[in-house]
């Protein structure tokens, strides 16, 4: 097969991966597309890295096209800068599948060893690494494509999203080697898939946590304030009035406003506004949490915070895992000049701290997280252990009417599954939702509308296996599998330089 055709077919397979994730959720597509990647690499192992890189570049460009919307349409960065910067992230992320495919072909000799042992392990470790290196960007991890429609989603409470990712990659490997092995071996492969997929299906019906306390009525505000107006001083009064009306007309035990719903520093809000907002909530018997930036103790520090306004002392959560280029400027001496072309206020937030305890409100212990913090499953484990409810506040107006908000909802569904707790989401433009402990969406507000989503949640207690062990067991297992593949491949090469491929 000509190399150019090989890379073209690989890129098509990668680009189609966008349909495996929300909002399309064709979960069955991801194993097929990874199988296509493996099959094409098998045909030209000398081009293994390029094949994996082409797949990743196309996949991540298709999945994260909305970066261009953020940079150009919302932040105002000229296209001449926005277009190449949009491709910069996929170009970096594609290194990981490229290295995974190269390592699989390099380490293991026989096809079954490459695609059933080495590739699932290497690909899973690559997905974990890209979610950790340079502060991490785990969106688009293959395991998220299985949340929650696939039977494999049942593996999430046991080993987290990376166990699900391994199962997807293993399924792809089975597809590749199935026609290359003897009939008796095919029976073994079918039994293996029945064990993995059937086990996942069985675990989907397993409840790992228990209800605690009484159900709580909750209201989640969706202000639908355009990003172009959000930080406009002329529009600030209208925004404050909007959220006051929503609070004053809502009667639930708990109410949460989105990320930076109040578009001024907490300390700079108009005199008496907080008193009015708090008074309206208390008259309705509502415990109120609001997203608002607040100043720190030092002159140049400020935080992306959630403040429990009606609680004694107004306890707060401050976002810790910040977005590069959006909430902090990496290497400002090299990249700072770009900001003169963009309308991106508050791009220098401070970190809130690695562990912040849950906030007690409305009889619940609520572990808050802000925006894409819910992309990082292991970081949520510590506060979730002490919490009865998870809450995410977000503002995805940066990405317009794109797939970003649906993809983000899928991340929250994974976190609910991993922790066995309700996840409530208050967002500016979508997807405001209530997610059950089994990961299913119980209620969701129509995106790009102004409304308050009202429902009921049940606090939960107890620990899932993933909350006890985190990512360590699956990562250790992946390392062991790679070691086994490397040793077996070395033995094959040492015994016969012309070892068989299959």
Closest CA to 374 of 391, 357, 353, 359: 391
Distances (CA, A) of 66 to 86, 96, 209, 237: 8, 21, 36, 30
426 strand-pairing partners: 393
Strand partners, 412: none
Question: Looking up tokens 């989105």, which residue turns up?
Answer: 258
DSSP label at 2?
Answer: -
CA nearest neighbour of 255 among 294, 292, 211, 285: 285
Measured CA to CA, the distance from residue 441 to residue 255 in angstroms comes to: 19
DSSP letters, 427-482, are ESSS--EEE-TTS-EEEEPPTT--EEEEEEE--EES--HHHHHTTHHHHHHHHHHH
What's phi and psi for 328, nearest 5 deg?
-150, 155
Beta-bridge mates of residue 389: 366
Taking the C-alpha atoms of residue 93 and residue 211, their distance in angstroms, rounded to an integer, is 40
pLDDT score, position 490 = 83
Catalytic site positions: 259, 319, 371
Closest CA to 94 of 127, 136, 45: 127
Q: Which residues contact 296 (CB under 8 A, 6 or more apart)?
A: 302, 303, 350
- Give me the residue label for tokens 């999430």: 156
pLDDT score recorded for residue 333: 60
Tokens of 51: 């094949």
> Residue 379: CB partners within 8 Å, gap ≥ 6?
320, 321, 354, 373
Contact 378, 138 (CB under 8 A): no
> For residue 355, what pLDDT is reported?
86
Q: What is the pTM of this model?
A: 0.95
DSSP state of 324: B
Q: What is the pLDDT of residue 499?
A: 45
- Structural domains of the chain in order of their starting residue, each with its CATH number: 3-207+470-495 (no CATH), 210-463 (3.60.110.10)
Q: Treating both helix axes as pointing N-terminal to C-terminal, what angle do 377-386 and 156-178 enclose, rounded to 10 degrees?
A: 150
The residue among 163, 169, 160 whose CA lies nearest residue 375 is 160
Residue 392, SS3? strand
Burial (CB count within 10 angstroms: exposed 0-12, middle 13-18, buried 19+), residue 235? middle
pLDDT, tens digit only, all 502 positions of the chain: 788 888 899 999 999 999 999 999 999 999 999 999 999 999 988 899 999 999 999 999 999 999 999 888 888 889 998 899 899 999 999 999 999 999 999 987 788 999 999 999 999 999 999 999 989 999 999 999 999 999 999 999 999 999 999 999 999 999 999 999 999 999 999 999 999 999 999 999 999 999 999 999 999 999 999 998 898 999 999 999 999 999 999 999 999 999 999 999 999 999 899 999 999 999 999 999 999 999 998 878 999 999 999 999 999 999 999 988 777 777 666 666 666 666 667 778 999 998 899 999 999 999 999 998 999 999 999 999 999 999 999 999 989 899 999 999 999 999 999 999 999 999 999 999 999 999 999 999 999 999 999 999 999 999 999 999 999 999 999 999 999 999 988 887 777 654 444 3
> 3-state SS of the chain: helix, strand, coil percent to 5?
55, 15, 30
């Amino acid at each position: 097969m000509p190399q150019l055709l090989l890379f073209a077919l690989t890129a098509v397979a990668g680009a189609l991966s966008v349909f495996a994730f929300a909002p399309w959720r064709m979960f069955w597509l991801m194993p097929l597309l990874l199988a296509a990647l493996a099959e094409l690499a098998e045909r030209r192992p000398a081009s293994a890295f390029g094949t994996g890189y082409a797949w990743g570049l196309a996949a991540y460009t298709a999945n994260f096209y909305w970066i261009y919307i953020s940079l150009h349409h919302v932040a105002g960065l000229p296209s001449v800068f926005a277009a190449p910067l949009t491709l910069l992230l996929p170009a970096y992320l594609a290194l990981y599948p490229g290295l995974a495919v190269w390592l699989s072909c390099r380490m293991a000799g026989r096809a079954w060893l490459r695609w059933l042992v080495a590739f699932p392990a290497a690909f899973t470790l690559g997905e974990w690494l890209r979610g950790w290196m340079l502060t991490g960007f785990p969106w688009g991890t293959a395991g998220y494509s299985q949340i929650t429609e696939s039977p494999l989603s049942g593996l999430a409470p046991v080993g987290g999203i990376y166990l699900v990712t391994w199962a997807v990659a293993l399924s792809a490997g089975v597809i590749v080697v199935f026609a290359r092995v003897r009939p008796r071996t095919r029976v073994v492969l079918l039994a293996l898939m029945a064990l993995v997929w059937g086990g996942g299906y069985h675990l989907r019906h397993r409840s790992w946590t228990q209800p605690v306390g009484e159900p709580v009525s909750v209201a989640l505000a969706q202000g639908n304030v355009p990003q172009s107006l959000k930080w406009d001083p002329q529009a600030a009064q209208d925004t404050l009035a909007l959220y006051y009306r929503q609070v004053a007309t809502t009667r639930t035990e708990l109410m949460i406003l989105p990320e930076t719903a109040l578009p001024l520093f907490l300390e700079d809000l108009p005199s008496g506004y907080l008193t009015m907002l708090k008074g309206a909530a208390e008259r309705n018997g509502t415990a109120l949490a609001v997203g608002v930036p607040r100043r720190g103790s030092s002159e140049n520090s400020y935080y992306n915070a959630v403040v429990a306004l009606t609680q004694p002392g107004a306890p707060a959560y401050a976002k810790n895992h910040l977005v590069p280029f959006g909430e902090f400027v990496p290497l400002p001496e090299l990249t700072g000049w770009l900001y003169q072309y963009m309308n991106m206020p508050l791009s220098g937030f401070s970190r809130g701290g690695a562990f912040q305890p849950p906030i007690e409100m409305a009889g619940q212990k609520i572990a808050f997280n802000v925006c894409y913090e819910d992309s990082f499953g292991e970081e949520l484990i510590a506060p979730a252990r002490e919490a009865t409810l998870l809450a995410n506040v977000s503002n995805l107006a940066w990405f317009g009417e794109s797939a970003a908000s649906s993809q983000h909802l899928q991340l929250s569904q994974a976190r609910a599954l991993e922790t066995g707790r309700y996840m409530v989401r208050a967002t500016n433009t979508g997807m405001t939702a209530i997610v059950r402990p089994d990961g299913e969406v119980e209620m969701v507000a129509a995106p790009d509308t102004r409304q308050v989503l009202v429902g009921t949640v049940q606090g939960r207690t107890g620990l899932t296996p993933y909350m006890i062990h985190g990512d360590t067991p699956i990562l250790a297992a992946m390392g062991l599998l790679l070691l086994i593949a490397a040793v077996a491949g070395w033995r094959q090469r040492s015994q016969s330089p012309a070892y068989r491929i299959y």
